[in-house]
Amino acid sequence: HELRWNPLIRQWIIVAAHRAVRPWRLTDKERVSCPFCPGAPELKDLASWDVVVLPNKYPALVPHPGSPAQYGSPLYVSREARGVSEVIVETPMHEGDFHTLTLSHVSKVMKVFKEEFEKLSRLEYIEYVALFRNKGREIGVSLSHPHSQVYALPFIPPRVASELESFKEYYGKHGRCLICDVVSHEQAVRERTVYENEGFMIILPYYAMWPYELHVYPKKHVKAISELSEEDLKLLADAIRVATATYSRLLKKDAPYIMVMHNHPSKGDYHYHFHIEFYQPYRDPEKLKYAAGIEWGYWVFTYDGVPEERVKELRKACDEILEVIGD
Ligand code: UDP
Ligand code: ZN
Ligand code: ZN
Ligand code: FE
């Protein structure tokens, strides 16, 4: 395990040789041996469970990595990949998504997310807890059993670092929080809102990079999931179920997506507003949108369509599912 510094773009790369051998898409025959289904070796000792945190068997980061081999040239910098990689298995059922689980079950998942954030943030060597969920073959998921992943990192990831800079600059100029202002604006104009409950709103942002990108913003100013009460977590669970149900209705199938939690870093005190972002790989129900040359090679995104128009498709799908989603 090591972190290698890319001096061209000044970012850490996690080098994890042994991850190459992790299982890839179980065939139907192998499914009986799904590592996240009840009865799997790692779960044997548990009599019954509904949500469970497991160490990642093929971890990208570990608590005691040992020193990386030094290459011997000042050109090439490395450091130890010290961190924690875990898997959160969200249900004993092999298929499903947030919206196929009950509201109280998803609230429990949110509670586990919160506990993970708190537990890992306390570790002295952790700077950032990255908690995310990959779903669907389209985005390369290796195991379909519903699960999220946690990478507790010894550095603040670049995308979050960039957001921290933006919050700081915005606060310096206006004396207010950037996302609090976006929330007030969207509540006033209601041009990009897909859904809203007492605690959270789901919008397709003005500044979306993916055609069906969704952001879940807490209406009150909280920096991290750790500040959410039991009641708040239930409202968050509701918003998340609505988001995933909306995607599946929109695409008329079990929809893929990437969900990322953007929490405040584990150390320090920054201007920040907790939120969740969903990236959707489809640009319409038939076509995938790939991040390719302009996106990967230059970090420039093109948006197919206009968010204020696209949001109507999501709003329609959302209104349809609200009639049937239940508790
Ligand atoms: N994994 C595990 N135990 C196993 C098999 C797999 O912890 O018995 C991990 C694996 O290392 C991977 C995760 O489960 O990180 C499944 O992740 P996912 O399919 O979301 O995406 P991946 O990390 O493979 O890109
Ligand atoms: Zn399974
Ligand atoms: Zn705020
Ligand atoms: Fe963000």
Q: Identify the top-confidence range among 44-58, 62-76, 295-309.
A: 295-309
Architecture of domain 32-57+83-322: 2-Layer Sandwich (3.30)
Neighbours of ion ligand 2 (CB under 5 A): 34, 36-37, 94, 145
* Nearest to 78, CA basis, from 15, 154, 125: 15
Angle between helices 230-251 and 307-322 in degrees, nearest 10: 110
- Domain segments of the chain as ranges: 32-57+83-322
- Where would I find the beta strands (DSSP E) of 193-255? 193-196, 200-203, 214-218
The predicted model gives 1-10 an average pLDDT of 94
Q: Is the pLDDT of residue 24 over 80?
A: no
Q: What is the pLDDT of residue 46?
A: 78
Q: Is the pLDDT of residue 30 over 60?
A: no
CA distances from 249 to 87, 241, 242, 318 (A): 27, 12, 10, 8
Residue type, 201: M
Q: Which of 1, 99, 145, 147 is catalytic?
A: 147
User: What band does 245 get if pLDDT is binned at 50, 70 and 90?
Assistant: very high
Answer whether 60 contacts ligand 1 (Cβ < 6 A): no
Please report the ipTM that was assigned to this predicted complex. 0.95
**Is 273 an annotated catalytic residue?**
no
Q: Is the pLDDT of residue 244 over 70?
A: yes
